[in-house]
Chain A
Amino acid sequence: MVVRAAKVIVNNPKKVADLVDLANLSGPLREFMGQSQISRLGCFVRIWSYIKEKGLQDPSNKNIVNCDDKLKGMLLGKPQLELAELPMLIKMHFPKTPNRCL
């Protein structure tokens, strides 16, 4: 059943398109990425690997990220964020019906 459910998600073209379509980036994000367009999935992978690279996870509680200045500028400016929120925070940079380009 779970296998089937996962397949349904992957086969849902709208959801997949939402994830992989390139979108124009806002100012702070553009600075971070060094490029003007990226997909939501690509953005997530980039930020997550940035967090790992810089070792920003809190040593006592790995679920919490201590933001550095670059991350703060991008993600609400909070000093700390929960790893669980990351997809939601990134989603805010990708509004639903924006100037999508193909």
Chain B
Amino acid sequence: MGKIPLSVRSTKLPVPLLKLPPASTTVQVSETEPLRALGSVPRHFRGAHDSRSSPSSFKRKKTASAVPPLLMAPQSVFQSRRLSDAKRDFDSLLLSSRRSSVSSPVRLDCNSLLQAFCNAGATSEDAIAFLHHMSLRAPSFSPDRSSYHIVLVHSCLQPCPGDISGALRALGLMVENNLPPTPATADLAVRSLCSARREDDACEFIRVLSLRHSAPPDAFTYNFFVRQLCKTRSLSTVYDFISGLHSAVGVKPDLVTYTILIDAVCRGKNLREATRLLGVLADSGFKPDCYLYNTIMKGYCTLDRGNEVIAVYNKMREEGVEPDLVTYNTLVYGLSKSGRMDQALKFLNIMTERGQFPNTVTYTALMNGMFRKGRALDALKLLEEMNARGCTPNECTYNTLLMGLCRAKVLDKGMELYGLMTASGMKLESGAYSALVRALCRENKVSEAYSVFDYALESKSLPDVAAYLPLESSLKLLKKIKA
């Protein structure tokens, strides 16, 4: 189905990046471990925050290189969240590092100490006071931008909606020390505010940054935030934000922003608004790309107008935009959903001719369509064809098959499939689950239905209530049949 461009997704970093660097060593940049070396560089990304940062802001801050070896503090260095305890611990650490510095020069990594103190649950006032204390005591340490970013992120993560005084204080300190905020500052603050569900505060913070500090968010931050707003707030809030930022500092929505907006309105089944947005898009001189076309196609699918996907596809070809795998998958999905199986199968061949090979998603969409048309056996044939072509069916495929087979009353095949699923520990989706339970009850196989119920709970496929209600209603149905 329609996918959103990579740059827009909230990026998850590959896991190796999140590993902590080995304690108490220099930053080893060896060829074999490039990821780990990269992971150890931007220190302020550690902690609760790092999984959400965009790759762009990562590159931006790949600067801090440690010349003298840093004494890495263990994450649990601070047992209490009290400022006085932290100060005392710091002083003793400082003393011990001075003593050892005769043999091997060791410098305390104050930023990671600050992060550790924040992680211990300090208030944002205490974090600032601790930073001040460290800069007074350790002469080699002067707070840099990352120190203030740590404080800023920490205060943004506090669950106190409507109060951005802590973040503003951190920002003020930064500016006082001749470190004007960069786009990275905006990015960090916005992402942390959003992860604490403080979208309104993020809105306010961006306004302050753009107006008073002339550091408007860059395209990544902007689009991330628009996406977040679309998810959590009403459309008018999103438009207010966009127009406000446009009139204040001239940040304009780009093609990605429009893709996000169109996707959001299609999710809300608001066709008229989507059409208007397409007009606006053309007026501002953007040429739709493949992602946008995919989003439009997906929109038609969610609006139950799968027929229209062909028109979008033709338009794409006219404009000379090369369809990708997602396009074809959406196309097949839309056609299957509206019951035009012949055409869907035709596109299966077309896509192969054009160098896009059907994958699991394509086949699952096709099977779904087959079941809609009541062609259960054709769907099973598709499974064979799929295996022959080297596509491995996934959980979604199995669930689709299970649901279809149970509804088509081919229960023996369904039970066979269910056996396969339980053997590999797959989860059941609610549709497949209720179809299976109903089919079993209809055949008076009550104890089997109970064991499916047990499996659903055991594999944590469904919450208790969602698993119980279909069972109860199916048993009621059975009683009616018997009576």
User: Could you list which residues of chain A lie within 8 angstroms of chain B, going by C-beta atoms?
Assistant: 2-3, 5-7, 9-10, 15-16, 19-20, 41, 44-45, 48, 52, 57, 62-63, 82-88
Partner of A41 from B445, B446, B465, B470 at Cβ < 8 Å: B465
**Contact status A9-B444, CB under 8 Å:** no
Contact with A along B439-478 (1 / 0, CB 8 A): 0010011110010001001000001111011111101101
Partner of A44 from B403, B433, B444, B468 at Cβ < 8 Å: B468
**Contact status A63-B444, CB under 8 Å:** yes
Number of A-B contacts (CB under 8 A): 66
Q: What are 14 inter-chain pairs, A to B, with CB distance below 8 A?
A: A2-B407, A2-B434, A6-B466, A6-B469, A9-B470, A9-B473, A10-B430, A15-B469, A41-B464, A57-B447, A63-B444, A63-B446, A84-B479, A88-B476
Q: Which residues on A sit within 8 Å (CB–CB) of B476?
A: 87-88
Q: Is the interface of B mostly helix, strand, loop or mixed?
A: helix
**Contact status A82-B470, CB under 8 Å:** no
Q: Is B266 an interface residue (CB 8 A)?
A: no
**Contact status B447-A6, CB under 8 Å:** no
Which 9 interchain pairs have the tightest Cβ spacing?
A62-B447, A3-B431, A6-B430, A63-B446, A83-B446, A87-B472, A2-B431, A84-B446, A84-B475
Q: Is B170 an interface residue (CB 8 A)?
A: no
**Contact status A2-B403, CB under 8 Å:** yes
**Contact status A48-B469, CB under 8 Å:** no
Q: Is B296 an interface residue (CB 8 A)?
A: no
Q: Is B429 an interface residue (CB 8 A)?
A: yes
Residue ID in chain A nearest B479 by CB atoms? A84
Contact with A along B277-298 (1 / 0, CB 8 A): 0000000000000000000000
Given A2-B431, A6-B470, A20:B446 Cβ within 8 A: no
Q: Which residues on A sit within 8 Å (CB–CB) of B463?
A: 10
- With A6-B434, A10-B469, A87-B471 given, can you name 8 additional A-B contacts, CB distance below 8 Å? A6-B430, A6-B433, A15-B469, A19-B465, A41-B464, A83-B450, A86-B475, A87-B472
Partner of A9 from B403, B457, B469 at Cβ < 8 Å: B469
Q: Which residues on A sit within 8 Å (CB–CB) of B441?
A: 84
Partner of A10 from B447, B450, B465 at Cβ < 8 Å: B465
Most chain B CB atoms below 10 A, which of A3, A7, A15, A44: A3
| Complex Cα gap A20–B465 (Å) | 8
Partner of B468 from A41, A63, A85, A88 at Cβ < 8 Å: A41
Q: Which residues on B sit within 8 Å (CB–CB) of A5?
A: 434
| Complex Cα gap A41–B468 (Å) | 8
Q: Is B435 an interface residue (CB 8 A)?
A: yes
**Contact status A19-B469, CB under 8 Å:** yes
Partner of A19 from B429, B444, B445, B468 at Cβ < 8 Å: B468
**Contact status B447-A83, CB under 8 Å:** yes
Q: Which residues on B sit within 8 Å (CB–CB) of A87?
A: 471-472, 475-476
